[in-house]
Structure 1
Amino acid sequence: MSRPEVDTDVDEFRARSRAWLESTGLDRRDGRCDGRHDVVSVFHDLPHDEELALLERLCAWQRTKHDAGFAAITWPAPYGPGLSPAHEEAFVSEELAWATPGAHELLTVTLNLVAPTLRELASHDLCAELVGPFLRGDQLACQLFSEPGAGSDLANVSTRAVRDGDDWIVTGQKVWSSGAQFAGWGELIARTDPAAPKHSGLTAFMVPLDSPGIDVRPLRQMSGGQSFNEVFLDSVRIPDRYRIGEVGQGWKVALTTLGFERGDSANQALVGGDWRRAFAVAQRTGADRDPLVRQLMAETYVAWRLGAVASARDEKDEAEGRASGAIGSVRKLQWLHRMQSVSDLTREALGADLAVDSGAPDAFEWTQQLLGVPGYRIAGGSDQIQKNIIGERLLGLPAEPRTDRDKPWRETRR
């Protein structure tokens, strides 16, 4: 099938999408999850080989979509057909009816965080080398941002990058890097000028994760999986051509990526269980007859309906060229509220079946939801950081006192 044309009408594009999806040989979903994946876990809990196989299926599907013109739908040439957000929404809504491989945070990070960051800030040559392979699913990239001493205070990173001719020598440690054990590339924030204030002395790079001196160590999480990793860098040599933006502009790069992360509402909707599955649990157990549980059901439904309204507003803003800015922090808190409402409802509906694997259907697996949700209260900036952003940038409240704003980083307390 030919690639979609830029001036395609949305209804025509939807029909074309539906016809193409029918031609792929995929099975239709059975309707249990209204087009969502069947897994309620927030983070993957798969053996290494099974998780790798899932990623391979996802990348194969991404390549199939890309080659048919149904990936990077809103991206301009040469990366995509340059259609509107309405076209993308039309395809996504059609795709949800089919049994695609599901989702994985590493592919999401590659497509929706790293690739658009490169498009906005990287050199032409770096974009030419990496953006196409990322969008097609030929290569995967993780974030190398947080460190043991720099989580919510991300600008406090201490991983050092020292210039050596046309290369940089990088030494340090990163942590909580989702999917790093499967990624070929990492988007790295490193300190290049310790004499500058902490926000000014950073530079961003793309680093091949098979470079000598890199050691990736998966971390076991309390839900049982190993989605996160420590990444150690010992005198890793990175060519300067892999630098993103100007030297000393790493904070701008980090904020750009984090902005994409907080505004990624389309993929947030595919994480964990939704209100429909939670309602099904309450109805199966009879908990929906309890007035307190019914109140939780009402609150959960309202939260998800408001999420749909917010998504529609964001799509309209994007179509009209308005940047989301600090609204991304509002959306992240709203998303977490929706996830937490589902956890609260299923916890009350399941009772002891949630804590013990008694064999009750669709019960014990919800522990993956309850144990995973707290992780997203930290990922992409903690709740407290989001509230600071909302207070200062949206509400115009006075900024918190920052005694280290103008101090050289090497003189600040760490």
Structure 2
Amino acid sequence: MSAPLGDTPDDMAAFADEVHAFLDRAAPRLVDEEGVEWGVGQDRITYFGDETPDEAARHVAAARRWQRTRYEAGFGWITGPSEFGGRGLTAIHDLVYDGIEAQYDVPDTGVLSLIGLGMIGPTILAHGTESAKADYLPAMFSGDIIACQLFSEPSAGSDLANVSTRAVRDGDEWVVNGQKVWTSGAQHSQVGLALCRTNPQEPKHKGITALLVDMDSPGVDVRPLRQMSGGSEFNEVFLTDVRVPDSRRLGEVDGGWRVALTTLMNERASVGTEGAGPAARAISFPFLTALLRANGGLDDSSNRRRLAELMANQLAASYLNRQALDHLIAGGQPGPEASVSKLMYSQNIIQATHFASEVIGPRLLADTGVWGTFSWNELLLSTPALRILGGTEDIMKNILAERVLALPKEPSADSTTPFRELRTSGTGS
């Protein structure tokens, strides 16, 4: 790996040259096209796809190969500590790399990076034992291991602290029993970060412990869930007498909620700053303008006003993400403000997709063979999930109200505080 760099202008220029040199050797450049040539190329527009298991496996294999290539060149974990295979550079170096890599035709590594590298990797670094860090972090960031998030349960989705999966101590091991659901990528993962109830006598936030579960352990059963878009990117995971060494515990016993918050804050930041992910091109100004022109709607002042509103919202989201990045560059950690990015991220895609659906009309539902019409169907079927993934919209709004605006807490079913007191307390604590 190359020697660490500083963050002076000359250092950043040298780093950018290094990135370009690596990518020029490793991948072809994308064609730089001005605007959108309507009707040319692939028109598929999706967020959650309808890949077959074989197709998904091929994409995962390509993602892992590309992550290994980046890692061996010193770009697999740019901000990570060197003792675990990282480069030890800053968040701005990470941003520079991402901006340059976007100019090249490389495999999509979202199955590795969004959850595993973006959320669970930082959590292991913050709370893991030295052996867990050494065993998992280099393997994750080199593409050898994919990680998933075993948080949600059938009866504890939005109320995450209400987990019922049990972990009972047995010597130097924990025996885990329970069920998780909506686990993205579990069918491809080698390790999962699980929240388990370890002390039912404590208040629910205080009786949770976080464990790293090897997904090939006896008793782990992954069952894919079919989405209405046709694919199976989410799963149920059943845990039956699964044994987990205590060395794979993150944080303190019964202190798993603090671990979970680390993951969740990185989740909001990862999801909210993803741009628009696979839908970025479709909801861009050039593409939506071309859509209006192709469907005879560009002269409609109402359409032009709505398009301007969409673009203003996307620009506001980009400025917010830039502000969040500046906070990280200054040494800060993702905070509750990341909930704003997550909200805007999902709302921008949903609003743009609904706008396109109205422009296209019935051809969204019946495939007439016209380019750029029925192809929106798959993205539209994905939008309900955007209101849920990374934290539901209602939960995000509560977080912002209570932790950012310091408004009174919303009364909960298990609250012992009288409703009148909650309404008049005037604090968010």
Partner of residue 226, structure 2: 220
- Unmatched segments (≥5 aa) in structure 1: 408-414
Q: Helix, strand or coil for the counterpart of 1:210? A: coil
Distance 2:288 2:143 in 1: 33
Q: Does 1:354 align with 2:359?
A: no
CA shift digits 1:101-136 (9 cap, x unpaired): 124345421110111110011111100000111111
Q: How far apart in 1 are the matches of 2:109 and 2:278?
A: 8
Instruction: Verify: 1:186 aligned to 2:192, yes or no.
Output: yes
1:296·1:344 contact (CA, 8 Å) conserved in 2?
Answer: no
- 1:203 is matched with 209
Q: CA deviation at 1:6?
A: 2.4
Specify the code of the residue in structure 2 equivalent to 1:267: E
Note the C-alpha offset of 1:405: 5.0
Deviation at 1:87, TM superposition (A): 1.6
User: Which range moved further: 227-236 or 40-49?
Assistant: 40-49
Determine the structure 2 residue equivalent to 1:305.
Answer: 315
Which of 54, 72, 75 lines up with 2:59 in the alignment?
54
SS at match of 1:205: strand
Gap change, CA 1:136 and 1:148, over 3 Å in 2 = same
**Alpha-carbon distance between aligned partners in 1 of 2:109 and 2:317, rounded to the nearest angstrom:** 20
Q: For structure 1, which segment, 279-288 or 111-120, has the greater mean C-alpha deviation from structure 2 after superposition?
A: 279-288
CA–CA distance in 1 between the matches of 2:327 and 2:113?
A: 25
1:255 aligns with 2:264: no
Distance in 2 (alpha carbons) for counterparts of 1:342 and 1:184: 36
1:267 corresponds to which of 274, 277, 282: 274
Aligned equivalent of 1:68, options 67, 73, 83: 73
1:404, CA displacement in angstroms?
A: 2.5
Offset, 1:308: 1.5
- Alignment match, 2:97: 91
Deviates more, 1:97-106 or 1:206-215: 97-106
Greater CA drift, 44-53 or 67-76: 67-76
Deviation at residue 345 of structure 1 after TM alignment? 2.2
8 Å CA contact 2:124–2:133 kept in 1: the answer is yes
- Segment drifting more, 341-350 vs 381-390: 341-350
Aligned equivalents of 2:174, 2:319: Cα separation in 1:
46
Partner of residue 366 from structure 1, selected from 376, 397, 410: 376
When residues 31 and 261 of structure 1 are mapped into structure 2, their CA distance, relative to the original with a 3 A threshold, is farther
Change over 3 Å in CA distance of 1:406–1:199 after alignment to 2: farther
Quote the residue 1:24 is aligned against.
Answer: 26
2:6 counterpart letter in structure 1: D
Partner of 1:381: 391
Of 228-237 and 372-381, more deviation after overlay is shown by 372-381
Query: Structure 2 unaligned runs (5+)?
Result: 37-41, 418-429
Inter-partner Cα distance in structure 2 for 1:164 and 1:61? 40
Evaluate the alpha carbon distance shift between residue 279 and residue 58 of structure 1 in structure 2; reply closer, same or farther with a 3 A threshold.
farther
Aligned to 2:49: 44
RMSD of equivalent CA atoms: 2.0
Give the Cα–Cα distance (whole angstroms) in 1 for the partners of residues 167 and 261 of structure 2. 19
Per mean C-alpha deviation after superposition, the further-off stretch among 298-307 and 360-369 is: 360-369
Task: Determine the C-alpha separation between the residues in 1 that align with 2:47 and 2:317.
Answer: 18
| Secondary structure in 1 matching 2:13 | helix
Residues 200 and 349 of structure 1: CA distance in aligned 2, closer, same or farther (over 3 Å): same
Contact 1:162 1:169 (8 Å CA) reproduced:
yes
Q: CA deviation at 1:373?
A: 1.8
Deviation at 1:349, TM superposition (A): 2.1
CA distance in 2, matches of 1:29, 1:127: 40
Opposite residue 214 of structure 1, the aligned amino acid is: V
Q: Do 1:155 and 1:251's aligned partners in 2 also have CA atoms closer than 8 Å?
A: yes
Separation in structure 1 between the aligned mates of residue 33 and residue 213 of structure 2, nearest angstrom: 42
Q: Deviations over 1:202-223 (max 9, x none)?
A: 0011101111111111001111
Match of residue 324 from structure 1: 334
Q: Is the 8 A contact 2:273 2:341 kept in 1?
A: no
Q: Amino acid of the residue matched to residue 4 of structure 2?
A: E
Query: What TM-score results when the alignment is normalised by the length of structure 2?
Result: 0.89
Count of residue correspondences: 404
Q: Which residue of 2 aligns with 1:236?
A: 242
Contact 2:77 2:141 (8 Å CA) reproduced: yes
- The equivalent of 1:342 in structure 2 is 352
Contact 1:168–1:237, Cα closer than 8 Å, also in 2:
yes
**Is the CA contact (8 Å cut-off) linking 1:103 and 1:270 kept in structure 2?**
no
Q: Which amino acid aligns with 2:316?
A: L
Instruction: Determine if the alignment matches structure 1 residue 3 to structure 2 residue 9.
Output: no
Q: In percent, how many aligned pairs have the same letter?
A: 39
For residue 292 of structure 1, what is the aligned residue in structure 2? 302
Match of 1:364, SS state, is coil
C-alpha distance in 2, partners of 1:238/1:337?
39
CA deviation map 1:328-380 (0-9, x unaligned): 11111111121122212211221122111111112222112211122021112
Letter in 2 for 1:338: N
Q: Which residue is equivalent to 1:132? A: 138
Please state whether the residue corresponding to 1:287 is helix, strand or coil.
coil
Instruction: Work out the CA distance in 2 between the residues paired with 1:296 and 1:275.
Output: 13
So what's the TM-score if we normalise by structure 1? 0.93
> Contact 2:219–2:241 (CA<8 Å) still a contact in 1?
yes
User: Distance in 1 between the 2:44 and 2:110 partners?
Assistant: 11
* 1:4 Cα deviation after fit: 4.9
Q: Deviations over 1:233-270 (max 9, x none)?
A: 11111111111111101111111111101011443432
Paired residue for 2:121? 115
**Deviation of 1:171 (Å):** 0.8
